[in-house]
Each structure stands twice: as structure tokens, then as C-alpha cells.
Amino acid sequence: MFRKLTITAAVALGLSTGAAFAAGGESHVEDFAFSFEGPFGSYDQNQLQRGLKIYTEVCSACHGLEFVAFRTLGDEGGPHYSEDQVRAYASNFEVWDPSLAEGEGDFRPATPADKFPGSALSNAPDLSLMAKARAGFHGPYGLGLNQLIKGMGGAEYIASLLHGYEEAPSCAPEDFDGYYNTVFTAGGYPDACKDENGNHLYPGSWIAMAPPLVGEDVEFDDGHSNELHHEVQDVAAFLMWAAEPKLVQRKDAGLTGVIFLTILSVLLYLTNKRLWAPHKNGRKED
């Protein structure tokens, strides 16, 4: 029975791996050094604020965060804005309120209790859980071992994708739809860029989204560099927080649990030895 289950799992893993590579060429995801990685890592408040600014000024034109409430921007461990700052930021957005206009509904300025609007375009995915969805994106597929061992996960994928736009290879027809990206593997791929066996000659594939960031897209209040390499890390860190706002608290709870279970295991071991030592040694208690 166990052997059959093992074979079935291996076949399923092979099929999913083959399907992933059939969709696009191999790609390289860069391993960025984010502050929240590792068992003791935490979010960088300034980086999250920079990432929020990039999202607001660039990404929000198409993409939404419909699962993220404005009030969480004031949470400790997150961007940690003051109540007044959160209220002022939320007022820049409009949300649909069905109770207005005599029950017919109308738009009103958002409050901290509301959530970010959804995506403005039907083909633009919501970014609330994007970093979570891309966790464990490779090595082996679906197991997330690179994220666990190397700290490689959704944030790295997003940052690499935003940094992965390049000039299309000369083999691609001029009228081929999309933009060439060395990391994205689920898009179209022209036949002219394949060899006689159908293998892709170049990594990645073509993506419908135009390069959203090119460097120096925003000006940061803290004077941090706005080069493309830094911008993609900032917005990726913010999207990681959007998907995992309680990441630090979960780490603290997990560490506390490990310490407690370790102490409990030692006490149980010592208790077991004390209770059973006379019997194991063939002696009876007096």
C-alpha cells in the first residue's frame, strides 16, 4: 500500500513539474536578503512604508488589495502608521457603500475600517495573497523546501519578476504579444524561439503586463535609493506583509512553543527515569 502511494506521489510530482516547464523556459529567481527571513526575522517598518508608496503610486492603478484592511497599516510590526495617518491615507480611496443614495448605493471616501479596493482591470490579479501564493514556487514543486531552508519564497519571486524584464530575443516576431520576462514561465512563447525538439532557447516567456517599475519611479521620504533593484525589494516586502501580516507573531509563538516542548520533554524524560529505574534494575522500592 505504501509503495503504491509513493509511486502515485512521484508520478504526480513529475507531471506537475513537466507541466510547469512546458509552460515556459527555466528561470532564475534571485535570493534577496529580506529582513523577515529566518526564525528571528521581522519586517522592516521603513521598507514596508516605501513598498506601500510604490503600490499606491504605481501598482494600485491596476491591481487591488481587497483582502487587506486600511486599519492594519497601523499595526505594530507592519508599516505602523499613526491613527491619523491611516485615516488620512484611507480617505484617498473610494469604496462602494450600498446604504447610500437611499439604498441604491454610492461611492464614499474610505475609512480605516474599510478594505483596499479590488483590481481596476479584470485581467489584473489581486495582490493581497500573491506573495503567499508564490511561496514554495520551486524546488521541488509545491513542497516549499527552498523557502524553509534557504528563505526563498514569494517575495523573492515577485522581486525577481519585476526585475526580470529584458529586450525580447531577436528570434521573436515583432507582432508577438506581451513583454519578454526571464522569470515568468506561464506566458506565451513564439515557435521561432524553439529548437527542432520544441525546447525553449531562452529562459522565461512573454507576459501581458508591461514593466511597472523602471527605477526612480517614486521619491522616498527617508531618502532611500529608488533604483530598480531597491524598488522591487521594497514592494515585494510590502506584498509579503500584506499576505502574512502576523508573520512575526507566528514566529514568536512557534519559538515559545518549541522552548516549552523542549523543557517538557526533558522533565518527562527525567520523571520516566526516576519512576522506572528501580524496575529496570531489578530492584523493588523500599
Structurally, the chain folds into a number of domains equal to 1
The answer to whether residue 93 is domain-embedded is yes
CB 58 within 8 A of CB 212: yes
Residue 55 lies in a domain: yes
The verdict on residue 66 lying in a domain is: yes
- CB count in 10 Å sphere of residue 194: 15
Residue 284 falls inside a structural domain: no
Residue 139 belongs to some domain of the structure: yes
Q: Which of 250, 251, 213, 248 is nearest to 234 (CA)?
A: 213
Contact residues for 142 (Cβ-Cβ < 8 A; gap 6+): 13, 16, 136
Quote the pLDDT of residue 227: 96
Q: How many CB atoms lie within 10 A of CB 212?
A: 17
Find the distance separating the first CA and the last CA of the chain, reported in whole Å: 51
Amino acid at 118: G
Q: Is residue 16 part of a domain?
A: no
- List phi, psi (to 5°) of 200: -75, 135
- Quick one: cell of 72? 492594519
CA-based R_g, the chain, Å: 25
CA distances from 252 to 57, 62, 213 (A): 33, 35, 35
Q: Within a domain: residue 77?
A: yes
In order of 23, 25, 39, 136, 144, the CA distances from 149 in angstroms are 27, 25, 11, 11, 9
Q: By residue range, what is the domain housing residue 217?
A: 21-274
- Provide the pLDDT for residue 149: 62
Please report whether residue 142 resides in a domain. Answer: yes
pLDDT, one tens digit for every residue, the chain (286 residues): 434 433 333 333 333 333 333 444 577 889 899 999 888 889 999 999 999 999 999 999 999 999 999 999 999 999 999 999 999 999 999 998 888 877 677 889 999 999 999 999 999 999 999 998 876 654 554 455 566 666 678 899 999 999 999 999 999 998 899 999 999 988 999 999 999 999 999 999 999 999 999 999 999 988 899 999 999 999 999 999 999 999 888 888 888 899 999 999 999 999 988 888 777 766 555 4
Task: Give ∠ CA 54-153-90 in degrees, rounded to 5.
Answer: 30
Q: Is 113 left (phi over 0), alpha (psi -120 to 50) or beta?
A: alpha
| CATH code of 105's domain | 1.10.760.10
